[in-house]
Amino acid sequence: MKSNNLQFRSVFQLSVFAILLAMSGMLISCEPEPTPVDAEVKAGDTTNLFVINRDTVIAPMNNVSIAEFSLDIDGDGHNDIKFEAYETYWHGVTGAQTKIYCLDTAFCIAAINYYDTIFFSKTYDTTLQNGIVYIWELSRNSCERYSSNDIVIDTILNPRVHLYFPGEIVKSYEHWMSDTLSVSFRGFGVIPVEQTLTQDTIYNYGALGVFDCHNLPGDSIMLMGVRKNINGTYKYGWLRFRISDNHIIELFESAIEL
């Protein structure tokens, strides 16, 4: 009888242990699964990235023709990229340009070389003022073809920054450059290079170069991709910026993996 009681107690204890073990498994299995971390850096997304709010405007002021600003993207104390904005003057503003410089070969920008076709055109304009004939002869080199009479004078290779859509995976773009990139260029006025005067005629020869085929869209907020080789590993990120009036750069925010 005593043996039967011991056997019953052992079976009961084993049954209770089995029930508790099963309940414990049920409790564990009912816990929510951890949310997987998306390791892909997406343009405009700050998740798990080193982020700096820039709020910086780069623009020539008070007849100072060049303005520039350098950025340390990953906070290691060394500048990675420089933005430059400048205007050219000849009796007033004649042109404007913005550039981006990679300051370290380990730092790259998502960009690719495009072939620009340069056209040559010549136009004439005549006006009469106070009995004097004013004649303008304008020679223009431009990426834009103004008439069917324009001729092709050159084809040049220009690097252009790749722009991302918000949420686009940054490293999905396959072309990266560590170089100086012209972001925008625009000529505003004619530069007289020669003038001929007679008693009743003033003949002006002018020249204008506008190499702007691959200007980035102005007055819109853009996202560009950046990549840095840190100890043999590529770290990806992005920078949010805008260009207005062909020469004013606004930097809003930058982000990169660490």
Can you tell me the mean pLDDT for 104-113?
94
The mean of the pLDDT values for the chain is: 81
Model confidence, pTM:
0.72
The DSSP code for 62 is T
Distance CA 135, CA 137 (A): 7
188-237 confidence digits (pLDDT tens): 666 667 888 888 899 888 877 665 666 788 788 999 999 999 989 999 99
pLDDT-wise least confident of 113-117, 132-136, 171-175 = 113-117
Can you tell me the mean pLDDT for 154-182?
91
Distance CA 41, CA 256 (A): 8
Strand, coil or helix: what is 7? helix
- Reported confidence tier of residue 240, pLDDT bands at 50, 70, 90: very high
pLDDT at residue 26 tops 70:
no
pLDDT of residue 237: 97
More confident site: 91 or 140 = 140
Return the domain boundaries, the chain.
1-32, 39-256
pLDDT at residue 62 tops 70:
no
Sign of CA dihedral 10, 12, 18, 20: negative
CB 213 within 8 A of CB 184: no
List of E strands, the chain: 50-58, 66-71, 81-89, 93-102, 107-129, 132-142, 151-161, 176-177, 180-187, 191-197, 201-210, 222-230, 233-244, 248-256
Can you tell me the mean pLDDT for 90-119?
88
pLDDT at residue 35 tops 70:
no
Can you tell me the mean pLDDT for 155-175?
91
Give φ, ψ of 14 to 5 degrees: -65, -40
Token pair 């050219």 is found at 88
Can you tell me the mean pLDDT for 148-155?
91
More confident site: 229 or 159 = 229
- Reported confidence tier of residue 94, pLDDT bands at 50, 70, 90: confident
- Reported confidence tier of residue 39, pLDDT bands at 50, 70, 90: low
Can you tell me the mean pLDDT for 30-38?
38
Can you tell me the mean pLDDT for 244-255?
91
